[in-house]
């Protein structure tokens, strides 16, 4: 291979990489603009809301808020025309902030320990041998 061929090959590779970097840079700028845009007044889907607010809400926490929207005051900011659930972004966020921080509960209850049938019960104190004890030998 001639040195001129290697140079042409390398310059071709560098041009491809430069073009790919330019595409990635444009995509990054577009995503940054989307993050900096203030929330709109329009109604957006639950999936779009989660994409915009991944730091603030998990899918489970948003589902809980939406399921209890009648009792927690979020109903005016949620619509369900058909199967899709639509959220008015600004009103919903303001209402969630007005709810205040979540209060931690006392923790999960201690798991109950399973006991064997014979453990601690007078009725079953003789365990599996009970049925043989009732038999009378001839």
Sheet holding 86-88, edge to edge: 43-45, 86-88, 78-79
| pTM of the complete model beyond 0.95 | no
C-alpha span between 17 and 15 (Å, rounded): 5
Does 102 or 92 have the greater pLDDT score? 92
What pLDDT does 82 receive? Answer: 87
What pLDDT does 36 receive? Answer: 65
Q: Which residue has the tokens 């994409």?
A: 51
Q: What is the pLDDT of residues 48-60, one digit of tens each?
A: 999 988 888 999 9
Other beta carbons within 10 Å of 76: 11
Q: Which of 35-39, 70-74, 119-123 has the highest mean pLDDT?
A: 70-74
Q: Are 130 and 112 in contact (CB under 8 A)?
A: no
């Amino acid at each position: 291979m001639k040195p001129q061929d290697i140079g042409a090959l390398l310059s071709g590779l560098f041009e491809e990489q430069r073009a790919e970097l330019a595409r990635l840079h444009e995509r990054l700028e577009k995503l940054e603009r989307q993050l900096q845009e203030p929330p709109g007044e329009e109604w957006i889907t639950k999936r779009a809301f989660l994409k915009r607010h991944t730091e603030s809400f998990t899918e489970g926490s948003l589902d809980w808020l939406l399921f209890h929207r009648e009792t927690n005051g979020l109903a005016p900011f949620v619509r369900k025309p058909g199967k899709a659930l639509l959220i008015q972004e600004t009103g919903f966020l303001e209402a969630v902030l007005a709810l205040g921080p979540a209060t931690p509960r006392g923790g999960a209850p201690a798991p109950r320990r399973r006991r064997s049938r014979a453990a601690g019960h007078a009725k079953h104190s003789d365990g599996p041998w009970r049925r043989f004890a009732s038999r009378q030998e001839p």
